Structure 1
């Protein structure tokens, strides 16, 4: 399998670091034989190596989001989320995103300074667009988890020597929007032989989600509904993406760069994902580890349909999940569609979707409904494409298609529910939907958890170590310093 070019450059970057470390131990070494910090970023390959390194913070073997779903356990999908949110919840995510941003900002600064040798202006714009896309993605994750955060860019003086306070949520979003608008104007519609790199459509898809989030909590700027609808419609009408027709084929490995997957964290045999056993119950194959169980209340609320069996592991070889040792269902998406040899060999090459076409259809449906005071024909068509596939293109009275006769509120609630089922376990989408719609107390999986609920639960705590090191930072409400 061909490696993603970013992953190929990651090894170049690591070798450069290793050579630099070795050189520090031997003062007699010829300095021309390694890439120094001063000269790093002077070529296209080095810039892309920095981007690869930034992605390695976010998705790696036993690290990043490869084993980082725990902080989002307090949604209504994962088992065990009791709304007791500890002071260390999200600490690792904070660190990995700022680690990624360090690499990205250094690369952006090098491009803007004109340090990249032998590159045309068009090539530099393309490099810059990739960096701004990645920076926007990191800040979009951070601002939804923590609220306003220190806004470190390529123009920021050393943030260690010059600590920064938290920027406003609006300022963080302004940077995200600006970065994504530039990225979408410069990125190509596809990459020949490099399927894992961000595209114009991926930038537009995430921008549509950004606008949708800005229309809801905490900014509540309703004018952004129309912006979200407009950008999502551009993706839909581009003709570059489509749903995988069969619901049982969506997460097959041959479709991980298919017409539906717009941008993902990538895995290859050279750079595998975390062992797939974490996603599987102990009864599965040679034995899973049961690390990521689904809450049974969430499963009970999911109507019977083909998609439910495609996305959730409800039984294995005739044994229902109620008889598993864990007594819970599991999410099929990230292990079931691997080959038996790969599963037993602990070699997962699954990708983690960040934005896919089904998501864009649902973004459009929600935004168009809210922008127009009720569901439009196009909004209904968008969500019904997702529902129709979920039911294997058959009428299902337990999960019927939507219509323009619905009220704005009912249609909106149906879209949010559809997102929960279609995007289950993907990139913390359910947690972020719960937070921006302020419905945590309505959807919490178990009534006894409500005793732990607070309006402060919609933000993670700022890590204590950062509060101790930077006196300009303030903790989020509800968490003691």
Structure 2
């Protein structure tokens, strides 16, 4: 169910739709060192600076995904989602993704035009591959949130003077696949001096997830299951990634560039992420703010196991969450594994995972099951790696390992549930799984929330400011223009 909001209340966002432009062109003065769009990306360092700027839009202090989980509250994990989805839901993420794309497209255009000088072909190819990887990531997030969106590339005319309509979902995915395929062919296996950069394995891992999504709603192109299986298998057989042995250690700072974290948004001591207090209950340390709490029904559905203790905070200093002031559990992943001193100093250098090896194993298991008409032994082995670690490598009757005797449907549902537990609160993954599997009404357990359910809930609204500025855009069904 959707609600409209007053457009006038949001006029402050008029700076945004697609980008700010270069206002310096209108000045009478001619600064000696002025760098124009045509001359900016003339070195590898300048291209890298554009990519850093693109990521800064997405992962910034109190901006982007630094505080960007609110649009995904309507899944079955967060507290506060009631399926009464506001007309501004996701506006901030739309804006930062298009700002990011602007930075990337400028760099890609410069590379293709031959303006980057003094580098060998391998370096040029890797620069271009990084840009295509990042652009694909942005559009993959956008298309899953909003459906078809304006497809602005390095070859597009200025979107301010040449407004664009929404491209089809299929066309957006075509660009994503093309960009990631190129990235996977040109990116290195690793960057020894810059471990946070995208790699060949990260490109293949995200491409596997792209194919898996294309096999499900809304495209439902089931031939992509086999492509997802193949791409995930290539990651698994590369020998570059493996699960951190102890589930307690997965999100510790020393593993943020470890064998499981394939790619994500990076934080450093010089560029910290949003205060970790948003993830913590008020009883923790000098006091968390309780912004991102976990739904109690979700917590109670999670079987007792080592992973639950590692990923969720259900008690603190002997106090059960039912006696917290918030009366909800919390997600440990993003605050508990930094030092308490750093927490109390409002300092976090935690990274935000986008793709990790556990995700790839689960992608493979789901895709192989669906591509082969039932669970293969390889699919079972992949998901059981995740389950075995989750249980602390002991048999757990509350969460047994999967077998080839399961039906295709049973196995598929079990893998989706496994994704919910393993990837809890990570980058909207649960919301995207709910949408592509079309199960929102099934996982919404509260009758008062379910009363708000509509088939239109599977897409976020196109921002009203953009609709006002670009008459070629059309709103998603269920939202008022």
CA distance in 2: counterparts of 1:185 and 1:25, whole angstroms: 44
Aligned equivalent of 1:415: 415
User: Once superposed, what is the RMSD of the aligned Cα atoms?
Assistant: 1.3
Aligned equivalent of 1:5: none
Contact 2:37 2:106 in 1 (8 A): no
Question: SS of the counterpart of 1:333?
Answer: helix
Task: Please state how far the C-alpha of 1:340 moved relative to its aligned partner.
Answer: 1.4
CA distance in 2: counterparts of 1:57 and 1:218, whole angstroms: 28
**Post-superposition CA distance 1:217-240 (Å, at most 9, x none):** 000000000000000000001110
Structure 1 stretch 328-337 or stretch 120-129: which is displaced more?
120-129
Aligned equivalent of 2:29: 27
Contact 1:297 1:446 in 2 (8 A): no
Superposed, 1:149-168 pairs within 5 Å as 149-168=149-168
Contact 1:143 1:169 in 2 (8 A): yes
| TM-score of the two chains, using structure 2 as the length reference | 0.94
How many residues are treated as equivalent by the alignment?
460
CA distance in 2: counterparts of 1:464 and 1:34, whole angstroms: 35
Superposed, 1:13-412 pairs within 5 Å as 27=29, 29=31, 31=32, 33-412=33-412
CA distance in 1: counterparts of 2:341 and 2:92, whole angstroms: 32
Unaligned ranges ≥5, structure 1: 1-19
Contact 1:277 1:346 in 2 (8 A): yes
Task: Please state how far the C-alpha of 1:192 moved relative to its aligned partner.
Answer: 1.3
**Post-superposition CA distance 1:166-215 (Å, at most 9, x none):** 00000000000000000000000000110100000000000000000000
CA distance in 2: counterparts of 1:426 and 1:314, whole angstroms: 18
Contact 1:461 1:476 in 2 (8 A): yes
Task: Please state how far the C-alpha of 1:120 moved relative to its aligned partner.
Answer: 1.5
Contact 2:213 2:436 in 1 (8 A): yes
Contact 1:97 1:138 in 2 (8 A): yes
Task: Please state how far the C-alpha of 1:62 moved relative to its aligned partner.
Answer: 0.7
CA distance in 2: counterparts of 1:466 and 1:25, whole angstroms: 28
Structure 1 stretch 467-476 or stretch 203-212: which is displaced more?
467-476
CA distance in 1: counterparts of 2:59 and 2:383, whole angstroms: 30
Question: SS of the counterpart of 2:334?
Answer: coil
Distance change >3 Å, CA 168–CA 191, structure 1 → 2: same
Aligned equivalent of 2:10: none
Contact 1:145 1:460 in 2 (8 A): yes
Distance change >3 Å, CA 443–CA 381, structure 1 → 2: same
CA distance in 2: counterparts of 1:479 and 1:159, whole angstroms: 24
**Post-superposition CA distance 1:435-466 (Å, at most 9, x none):** 00000000014222000000000000000111
Unaligned ranges ≥5, structure 2: 1-21
Task: Please state how far the C-alpha of 1:345 moved relative to its aligned partner.
Answer: 1.1
Task: Please state how far the C-alpha of 1:119 moved relative to its aligned partner.
Answer: 1.4
Aligned equivalent of 1:17: none
Contact 1:185 1:200 in 2 (8 A): yes
Distance change >3 Å, CA 28–CA 443, structure 1 → 2: closer
**Post-superposition CA distance 1:229-256 (Å, at most 9, x none):** 0000000011100000001000000000
Question: SS of the counterpart of 1:263?
Answer: strand
